[in-house]
Structure 1
Amino acid sequence: MSLLSSPHFLRNVLWADAVSCLATGLLQVLFTGAAAQLLGLPAALLAWSGLFLLAYAGAVAYLATRKPVPRAAVWAIVAGNLGWAAGCVGLLAGGWLAPTLLGQAYVVVQALTVAVLAELQFFGLRKGAARAAW
């Protein structure tokens, strides 16, 4: 059985989302000052977005434990991930900040990661709808 055909595909993607948010949130909260210097991003932005990511990780992990996974809530997670990706692009394109090259890479990696997670979650939702229609 492939990963894509697993009946737990959506749940696994939610766990991946939760773990990535937890790791990023902890990094930003625990090492705010050092990260701000390395990335050229405001410490307050890193701290507050890190706290948000920790709460978001908890919410996504909670959804991943539900049986069945609540589809409407996952649609909200998909929208949230797409919004985060758009916010990352806006942060770089807006010209309000001057992140270092490493900071730019950090923001781009976040945008790409959450965009891919949103796509995988969308795929999981569609796969589940198709399976339910059988």
Structure 2
Amino acid sequence: MAATAAAPTTAADTDAATRLLRFALKQDAIGSGANGIVFLAVAAVFGSMFGLPAAFLVPVGAFLVAFAAALLLLAARQVVNRAAVVTVMVVNVAWVVASAEMLIAGWFPLTGLGTAFVIAQAAVVAGFTGLQFAGLRRVSAVTARG
């Protein structure tokens, strides 16, 4: 029985593998940044619509804007740092867990719209995390071949 060798990894293979990861990071950045800007700009309005205090939304908005900037920088690097991507995924998972805890523990007197918003944004963040995980696995598979 003849042994087969894996084909060497090319730059095109690596570029194709990182495409999904970069896409996931950029989409996360767009969503996080947009939410952050809106939270900062209209915290009082959103607070009354969702049942969240403006004093909560402003620092969350500032965090989201900074997080979005970090995601864009990470996605733009020639070589995407795996440890940084894992950190992003950990932050995203913490966001989803905190969102669930917010609902279960009743941290704030959320309106129906507020409850729907917390659930929707947690689902979107979980989706970004899934894409980031898939992208990271794809990159790992290609680099393991090379």
SS at match of 1:69: coil
TM-fit CA distance, 1:8: 1.0
Write the deviation string for residues 40-76 of structure 1: whole angstroms up to 9, x where unpaired.
1111111110110001001111101101111110000
- Displacement, 1:85? 0.5
Task: For 1:131 and 1:6, locate their aligned partners in 2 and report how far apart those are by CA, in whole Å.
Answer: 7
Greater RCO, 1 or 2 (C-alpha within 8 Å, sep 6+): 2
Aligned-CA RMSD value: 1.1
Which one of 57, 61, 81 corresponds to residue 92 of structure 2?
81
TM-score, with structure 1 as normaliser = 0.93
What residue is the counterpart of 1:90 in the other structure?
A: 101
Point out where structure 1 has 5 or more consecutive residues left out of the alignment: none
Contact 2:17 2:142 (8 Å CA) reproduced: no
CA distance in 1, matches of 2:127, 2:107: 26
Q: Which of the numbers 97, 122, 125 marks the counterpart of 2:136?
A: 125
Q: For 1:1-134, list aligned pairs within 5 A.
A: 7-134=18-145
- Structure 1 stretches of 4+ moved >6 Å: none
Q: Partners in 2 of 1:44 and 1:107 — Cα distance?
A: 17
- Paired residues, number: 130
For residue 72 of structure 1, what is the amino acid of its counterpart? A
Give percent identity, aligned residues only.
38
Query: Is the 2:18–2:138 contact (alpha carbons within 8 Å) kept by the matching residues of 1?
Result: no
Q: Which one has the largest radius of gyration?
A: 2
Consecutive unaligned residues of structure 2, counting only runs of 5 or more, are: 1-15
TM-score, normalization by structure 2: 0.86
